Amino acid sequence: MPLSVVILAAGQGKRMASDLPKVLQPLAGRPLLGHVIDAARTLNPVAIHVVHGHGAERVRAAFPEPDLKWVLQAEQQGTGHALAQALPGIPDDHMVLVLYGDVPLIEPATLARLISKSGPAALSLLSAILPDPAGYGRVIRDAAGRVVRIVEDKDANHKERAVTEINTGLLAAPAVRLRGWLAALKSDNAQSEYYLTDCIGAAVRDGCAVEAEVAESATEVLGVNDKLQLAEVEAAHRRTRATELMRAGVTIVDPARVDVRGEVACGRDVTLDINVILEGKVKLGDRVRIGPGCVLCDCEIGADSEVRANSLIEGSVIGARCIIGPFARLRPGTRLADSVHIGNFVEVKNSDIGTGSKANHLSYVGDTTIGAKVNVGAGTVTCNYDGVNKHRTTIGDNAFIGSGTMLVAPVSVGADATIGAGSTITKSAPAGKLTVERSRQQTIDSWNRPEKKRE
């Protein structure tokens, strides 16, 4: 059967105590809802319908992708009412998979198993076994072990509350059957809402098979209703991603202190020290070593390179055998060839640096092309911005830039040129020559340092 996914994401999330809609709360640097959408897309559905309500405009604006169909639930009257808003846009012959925007860790493999148990005359629901099921709806089975209904925690009696198998709310069912069940829902319950879970009992009464798929891990069905639960889900996500990397051969000094917030591809024998954050698309070559406190975002680092402590690399491509940091910053557009050294408190932006070149201390390199085997001395600044426009600096192979040099762009330094320390270079420096620009040093004997007046 063709598949339509419905994601229920209309809740306000009052317990978050936040102006940000609940489904936009961040998990691993992305909104909760984004994780659910990604899981849904792996199933290749015909359509993904997102039922939204609180903060509707902000939620829609966060996900401008054209494959999403937005359905407004203007008044939140329960999960059954929410699904009913989406059904008019789903054909009768479709299978409907219901997901939740605040259940972000659900695994695509689990969803595939859930769908496989549903069919034209079968509803499947996802359950989980929890040691403490308080707050969750319970899966009630008969003596033969067949699912007969779901009872919400607030409506359960003492015996039902002792059941440890809980309903996650995720289910798959034929659209044509769901229409009838939803139309018959009543709100005579503790919350005066239309419960989607009441469709389970209706399916049983109609003779429709109800199959329960038990989640392999309770972690993936954790819901998020407050900041404490958000932190718990963040920790679970962190453990999962760190485990994936370690199983792929990455050495992680402390898995609890590595955050993976994007797509990471690693070669062999990669090492990540503590408090490393990986965001966006990150590719690490063989034997790359990332020191403590580093943040890598949308970057590629070649084999045998080392990023030392507390460095930030964003939107950059780094060659093999490079050394970066400590306390270095590489901004978007930076491209380093092999064997480049970028040292402590050096910032590089939108620049190409050639093989074997180095800028080891306290320098800014912006909008610059540097050739091979160039030495950039401490305190060098490429003065690339005139207040309106950015200008480019070019430095040829084997050039030596003395400490404290100001290169006022646009300017070029020729191959094998030497710039004397403390120079301000405003004109092109010829190849193979020493260029020095300094004011004459003077000593003024009659000068006295100002002193504060004593009270």
| Gap between the Cα atoms of 321 and 339, Å rounded | 5
CA distance 264 to 298: 9
Sign of CA dihedral 147, 153, 158, 162: positive
Count CB-CB contacts under 10 A for residue 164: 14
Catalytic option among 52, 158, 237, 361: 361
Tokens of 179: 């229409």
Q: Is the dihedral of CA 262, 267, 268, 271 positive or negative?
A: negative
Using CA atoms, how far apart are residues 269 and 254, in angstroms rounded to an integer? 16
> What is the 3-state composition of the chain as percent helix, strand, coil, each rounded to the nearest 5?
20, 35, 45
Q: Do 212 and 173 form a contact (C-beta atoms < 8 A)?
A: no
Q: Could you give the 3-state DSSP secondary structure of residue 66?
A: coil
Neighbours of 93 (CB within 10 A): 11
Cβ proximity of 332 and 316 under 8 Å: yes
Determine the residue type at 436. V
d(CA 322, CA 341) in angstroms, rounded, equals 6
**How far apart are alpha carbons 341 and 326 in whole angstroms?**
11
| Known catalytic membership, residue 361 | yes
Q: Which two tokens stand for residue 399?
A: 């050039």
Alpha-carbon span 254 to 231, nearest angstrom:
18
Sign of the C-alpha dihedral computed for residues 435, 439, 440 and 443 taken in this order: negative
Tokens of 234: 């963040």
Backbone angles phi, psi at 79, to 5 degrees: -70, -35
- Separation of alpha carbons 431 and 79, rounded Å: 74
Cβ partners under 8 Å of residue 30, min gap 6 = 261
CB 137 within 8 A of CB 128: no
Q: At 212, which amino acid appears?
A: A
Residue positions annotated with a catalytic role: 361
